């Protein structure tokens, strides 16, 4: 088994420790860098619907006439982020 050094995804610091678990069992980690405002993070975030590339794909699929449930199923996200993305107006 290969072990790699865990790094904070925001500040790339190596002073990271385990910090318990979420309700559904995901491992939380905590960065002890005092200069960075965000301290607790999930290494493997399950919310893929927030990524800009996924949001753009959701909009493209809607413009091509795909339905909400079909878009959610193909993209691997729930229908809620699809609806939220399509209801937001561009700036």
User: What is the mean pLDDT of the segment spanning 76-91?
Assistant: 81
Average pLDDT of the chain, as a whole number: 81
| 50 contacts: CB under 8 Å, gap ≥ 6 | 81
Q: Which domain holds residue 7?
A: 1-46
Residues 40 and 1 in one domain: yes
- Specify the higher pLDDT residue, 64 or 17: 64
Other C-beta atoms within 10 Å of 83: how many? 14
Res. 70 pLDDT band, cuts 50 70 90: very high
Whether residue 26 is found in the same domain as residue 56? no
Q: Are residues 41 and 54 in the same domain?
A: no
Does 13 have pLDDT greater than 50?
yes
- 23 and 9 part of one domain: yes
CA–CA separation, 66 vs 78, rounded Å?
Answer: 15
What six digits make up the tokens of 15? 């002073």
Quick one: 79 and 39 in the same domain? no
The better pLDDT of the pair 12, 56 is held by 56
Q: pTM for the complete prediction? A: 0.52
Are residue 3 and residue 38 in the same domain, yes or no? Answer: yes
**Are 42 and 52 found together in one domain?**
no
């Amino acid at each position: 088994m290969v072990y790699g050094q865990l790094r904070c995804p925001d500040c790339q610091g190596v002073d990271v420790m385990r910090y318990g678990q979420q309700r559904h069992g995901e491992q939380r980690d905590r960065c002890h860098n005092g200069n960075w405002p965000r301290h607790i993070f999930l290494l493997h975030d399950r919310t893929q619907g927030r990524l800009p590339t996924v949001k753009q794909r959701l909009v493209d699929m809607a413009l091509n006439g795909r339905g909400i449930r079909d878009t959610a199923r193909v993209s691997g996200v729930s229908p809620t982020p699809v609806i939220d993305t399509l209801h937001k107006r561009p700036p």
